[in-house]
């Protein structure tokens, strides 16, 4: 379904942006974005949480799309 395809697109975009940001951060700062740095740790954690939640939204959209397709298939099969 469209919801499933949109969920895949959201997840792919978010994961690609995160990969680019993580590699750029490693290149410019010299360490990976982990949230364990005593100076920038709180900001890093916020970034990690936001990317994680956005990725989770994409996964939930995919699951909703699968459930919608399953319910539609059941209702068409019963008719």
| 66 inside domain | yes
**Tally of domains within the chain:** 1
pLDDT at 73: 85
**Domain for residue 77, yes or no?**
no
25 vs 15: CA distance, rounded Å:
15
Nearest Cα residue to 61 out of 69, 51, 72: 69
Pair 35, 44: CB distance under 8 Å: yes
pLDDT digits (tens, 9 = 90+) for 30-73: 989 988 988 889 999 999 999 999 999 999 999 999 999 888 88
Confirm if 71 and 6 have CB atoms less than 8 A apart: no
Whether 76 is covered by a domain: the verdict is no
Please tell me whether the overall predicted TM-score, pTM, comes out greater than 0.85 for this model. no
Whether residue 24 is contained in a domain is answered as yes
């Amino acid at each position: 379904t469209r919801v499933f395809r949109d969920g895949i697109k959201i997840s792919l975009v978010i994961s690609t942006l995160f990969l680019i940001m993580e590699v750029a951060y490693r290149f410019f700062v010299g360490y990976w974005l982990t949230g364990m740095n005593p100076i920038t740790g709180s900001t890093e954690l916020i970034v990690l949480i936001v990317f994680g939640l956005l990725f989770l939204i994409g996964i939930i959209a995919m699951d909703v799309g699968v459930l919608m397709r399953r319910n539609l298939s059941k209702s068409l099969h019963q008719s």
